[in-house]
Structure 1
Amino acid sequence: MRKSSFIRESITIEPNLDIGFVEVTPEMIRPYTPYHWHDSYEIIYVMSGSMTVQTLPVSKTTYVSGSVICTPPYQIHDITASKDTHFILAMIPSEVMRKYIPDLDQITFMIPKVVTSEIERTKLETLQKTMYQMLVAITFQEHGYLLRFQSSFFELMYQLYHNYSHYNKPATQIDKNYERLQQILSYVQDHYTSVITIDEISSYVNLQPQYFCHFFKKYMGQSFLSYVYEVRISKIEKDLLQTTDSIGTIAERHGFTNIDLFRKKFYKKNQCMPREYRRR
């Protein structure tokens, strides 16, 4: 709507609706969203441009115009989007889905990236059309739009359940590791503006410091400190574009007390300085 960094991302639920729903145009695009997770189903319809989603353990998939992506709750992932990406995002809370799909916890919704038959193509086109109808209803808000939106929402859930549900395998040790990663990411989200030591975070998840560093690097593909910097820079990028606060104020707000270190990390990620980034 790029969701990235081991953090829990909150999505505002629309008034009078059961879900979060938003259209993201190229002007609104954040090229990169660090690793993060939701407690909702994230459904994205890529209307134009392209989007790469990387999940843990490391699996990277690029989606092009016409793709529909379903990321389940608690799946840690990041998102990278091209500057011309235009998409629709629906966030459906698990408790809402569970009211109508009793066996929700036993299934995963798997939408193929590539359709190879006319039947699959028809199913995908129906899914695209349903999400677009939801967008039209919420955008123009004509008389009875809530009824139109909710009827399309129920149709969306039905299509996911009827056409794309697969039963899960039993839980494994990998699932337990994901739970620990979620704890780590949530902690970073809550404390990234302060110094987080390895002793502090490893104690929080009941791991020895040395093993914690190995564990985090194995599953995240980067050091813990690099990840914290990534989260801070992602927050700063947003404030640079959405506020008129000074660069120093923004950097300090998000945990950088050393302005030279901040500029170095920012340039490494964006290949430009903060002032230039703001003028884009």
Structure 2
Amino acid sequence: MRRDLWENTIMTDPALPINVFHPTFRPGCSLRLHWHEHFELIYVESGEVVYQIGGRPFPTKPGDMLFVNSGELHSATSLHPNEPFTVYAFVFNPSMLGLKEPHIVGLVAPYTNGLSAIANRIEQTDPFYPLLKQIAMQLADEFEQKRHGFELAVRSYCQLLFTWLSREFTVKQRSDTEMNAFRTKTDQFKELLTLLESDMTERVTVEQAASFVHLSPYHFCRMFKRMTGQTLVQYMNLNRVNKAEYLLKNTSMSVTDIAAEVGCSSINSFSKLFRQLRGLSPRDMRKGQPI
């Protein structure tokens, strides 16, 4: 049943896995019960609405801010059936926080694996509330306006939000024994991520990666997805395209050589993958990019 409630949140750009929703719910409308692997920050702009998060009710008024941890069931219903309500919902995948950098994995992974959790309500009277609201509204503006370099700004604001939320609003922390055991496993994943980054020409299978961190393929896939927000294949493909984009913009290497450098078996498969994740061909990416 819980799998039936899973929501495949729309992310328009795989390289920037975030969406900012700004809906107005008409009188009588509600948000169905669902869950997703992403983090979600909610800001109530107008109206009064009650959110159910993890089985607990959170009545809200304009200006209230809520947080939904990865995997938490949540829904929303207007407190007044004849009145609409408007919210901002910032839904972002943990990979937005820079999980391709192994040292960040140890900071974020406890929150994606349920070992730590952030408070569901951020009170308006809390001294950090004004800062969080300011960052959230700046993030919304960058995402909506899409000015030059907005991708970098959006990612930076996500990192700031998570930093302050995890630093000031963590309410769940497992025992030292549990955390130490988890950190040991996380360190093994950091080594694996470093290995994947260092040589993209090496074709690493799920079985090989699972063996590296001493897990079965099934448990490895679950833990890798929780830690990075992506499957192993998605993670490696995004790394390939990121590196290829850098090489296209900053070197005079041919597209064929770049394809080989990032571990693609053919120029056709490379171009298809690049277009899938960037929306244009490698050659179009290079146009207008002087070396």
TM-score by length of 2: 0.48
Structure with more contact order per residue of length (Cα contacts < 8 Å, sep ≥ 6)? 1
Could you tell me the TM-score, scaled by structure 1's length? 0.50
